[in-house]
Amino acid sequence: MPALTIWSVRFALVYLGLGFTFGALMLWNKGLPISGALWSLLPAHIDFLLFGWTVQLILGVSFWILPRFKHPPKRGNEKLAWGAVILLNAGVLLVAISPFLAQLPWILTASRAAQLISALLYMLHAWPRIKPTGT
């Protein structure tokens, strides 16, 4: 596994653990109520599991297994992929803190913008690697 894959998959596993923890707290709270405040974990639960876990795992593993180039840099423009990973994580973290910073409504917009730019960067990285193996 290349370094970017190791980082992104480890982050993905952390988000999986946190996302499941938040989900379990909310489900427990549904059956045996603890506090209504636990529902503020819902945006983090959704974003941690959809973007932090699923999207980030796909991003990291595809960086690892997509066809490489014959000549260095074998995985193409790695800076684009690193930018995608950093922005994806920034976006997820901003969504998680957004319910606690209601006085800063732009945070949610910023998080979605970061995730969009992350997707664009990753598309630019991966596009040339979608090719027959060995070419």
Partner 1 sequence: MPPLTRWFLRSSLIFFVLALILGLVTTLLREGGDPQVGAVAQAFSPVYFHLFLVGWVTQLIFGVVFWMFPKYSMERPRGFESLGWASFILLNAGLILRAVFEPLHALQPAAGLGWLLALSAVLQWLGGLAFVANTWGRVKEK
Q: Which residues bind partner 1 (CB under 8 A)?
A: 1-2, 5-6, 9-10, 13, 16-17, 20-21, 23-25, 27-28, 30-32, 49-50, 54, 57
CA 40 from centre of chain:
20
Copy the structure tokens of residue 94: 């901003």
User: Quick one: 17 or 73, whose CB is closer to partner 1?
Assistant: 17
In the complex with partner 1, the residue whose CB is nearer, 15 or 122, is 15
Q: How far apart are CA 81 and CA 132, in angstroms?
A: 21
User: Shortest distance, CB of residue 70 to partner 1, whole angstroms?
Assistant: 22
What span, in angstroms and rounded, lies between the C-alpha atoms of 48 and 54?
9
**Tokens of residue 49, six digits:** 């599991």
Return the beta strands (E) in the chain as ranges: none
| Residue 25 Cβ vs partner 1, minimum distance, rounded to whole Å | 8
Q: Which is nearer to partner 1, 54 or 77 (CB)?
A: 54
